[in-house]
Amino acid sequence: MGMKAHRSYVRRLSLSPEQTAELDQQGHAARALWNLLHEWWTWGGCTRRPTMRQTDEAIRQARKDIPWLADLPAQAAQQVLKTYLRAWKNFFDGHARPPEFKGRVRSRMSVDNPQASKLRIRRLNRRWGELTVIKVGRVRFRWSGSLPGVGREPGRITGARLVKDTLGWHVAFRTEQDRPDPEPRPGPAVGIDRGIHVPLALSDGNDQHHGPWLRAKEAERLLRLERKAARQWRARMRGQPASNRLRRTYDQIAKLRARAKRRRYDWQHKTTTTIAAKYGLVVAENLRLTSMTRSAKGTVDYPGKNVRRKSGLNRALLGEAHGRTIELLEYKLAERGGQMLPVPAAGTSQKCSACGHRDPVSRAGIKFSCTSCGWVGHADTNAALNILAAGLAVNGRGVDTVGRRREASTTRRSAYHPGKPARPRAAGEATPALAREGSEA
């Protein structure tokens, strides 16, 4: 038995001005087709829904009647319909919001080339490759890594999607690879606490850090451009749209932010690959990031407190993109036979990992000093140890050095009665933290 791994590989395109103009035209046509579908699909409310056959016939007739809509290839037009129907299915299943109209400025242009046989991918040299785009011709792209199904690489390419962002056009190759089912890997277990001062604090002390996503000169230029955009926005006539100069400033800001996003994504991929290759069980908090980054502005009747401070905290949390880190780590662990285990986040930063006593006063910033046993350490490391203990209790792997199961009643008692001290330890008895370190060593 085996499994089919579906992955996407993104490469940057190198286009001539004529090819860029042609792809831009196709992207605008795909966006307009989406809006036409949405208007026709939602016209008349929920009582009227056209069938798949009626919608397909309407698209074929529209490509004959509207010249600029015919610039979009037929396969790409059919893919717009499939994507639109899939968006409705995701909404009905409760996974996403309902489809909306796509704006010309804020939406990201994309064109599908679903037929892999027409791509004709070929490697030119060490740095460049080439593929065929319908109605555009042969296009070069950066060969920044191997592709399944090209050359001697196992697997196959099932299609491609052309996407444009602030840095230009890119191609995302959809691939499929046959892989054997991974065997369960009994590797070491680790708890991960996600934060701001320490992006990923691991229970064994192997914390993962990163520097600022933008260099000093880039951050200075970004601040200067944001202030310039604010001045240009205030100088415009009230009720008038943004000027061309303001749009150009917005484009420069978007390029710097896209550069920071790429560096963050690169760090996340490298870090999660290292963690997935080293550990067999990773325990992480089940954080509600949407609620954590909600604005504290409040209402007119009930205004919020410390709004600017909370907005800065929200920006810092969103800048770390902790949700994507867990998504990457989850599928990489599954490929290697590991396991990702989420645990509730309540109380992990207020409980002492040594004695189990829970007291909000024990934590002061990044320092944790237990008011019961006097244990002192980094607050994020203490939280990671508590997360690991909660995961081992759920997973049934919590065995200390003397072979006894960890007492779950002590944890429950300290959680529900934070004023009561935990079970006193006998003379010479190791703390749970030391026992874990000894078992992992």
pLDDT score at 401: 28
* CB distance 170 to 323 below 8 Å: no
359 noted as active-site residue: no
Residue 129, beta-bridge partner list: 123, 141
Given 204, 207, 285, 320, the catalytic residue: 285
pTM: 0.78
Q: E strand or H helix at 79, and its extent? A: helix 74-92
Given 193, 204, 207, 320, the catalytic residue: 193
100 noted as active-site residue: no
Pick from 255, 34, 297: which is nearest to 165 by CA?
Answer: 255
Q: How far is CA 139 from the centre of its chain?
A: 29
Q: How far is CA 382 from the centre of its chain?
A: 26
* CB distance 122 to 130 below 8 Å: yes
Counting Cβ atoms within 10 Å, is residue 176 exposed (0-12), middle (13-18) or buried (19+)? middle
For 358-382, the DSSP string reads B-GGGEETTEEE-TTT--EEEHHHH
Distance CA(97)–CA(389), nearest Å, equals: 36
Counting Cβ atoms within 10 Å, is residue 392 exposed (0-12), middle (13-18) or buried (19+)? buried
Name the 3-class secondary structure at 63.
Answer: helix
Distance CA(88)–CA(77), nearest Å, equals: 17
Whole-number mean pLDDT of the chain? 83
Q: At a CB cut-off of 8 Å and minimum separation 6, what does 54 contact?
A: none
How many percent of the chain have pLDDT more than 70? Answer: 88
Counting Cβ atoms within 10 Å, is residue 384 exposed (0-12), middle (13-18) or buried (19+)? buried
Q: Which residue has the higher pLDDT, 430 or 69?
A: 69
pLDDT score at 295: 80
Cα separation values, 57 from 61, 268, 390, 422, Å: 6, 45, 57, 71
Given 112, 207, 320, 380, the catalytic residue: 380
* CB distance 175 to 147 below 8 Å: yes
Pick from 351, 358, 352: which is nearest to 420 by CA?
Answer: 358
Digit-coded pLDDT (tens) for 348-400: 888 888 888 888 888 888 888 888 888 888 888 888 998 998 888 887 654 33
285 noted as active-site residue: yes
Digit-coded pLDDT (tens) for 267-297: 999 999 999 999 999 999 888 877 777 787 7
pLDDT band at 47 (very low <50, low <70, confident <90, very high): low
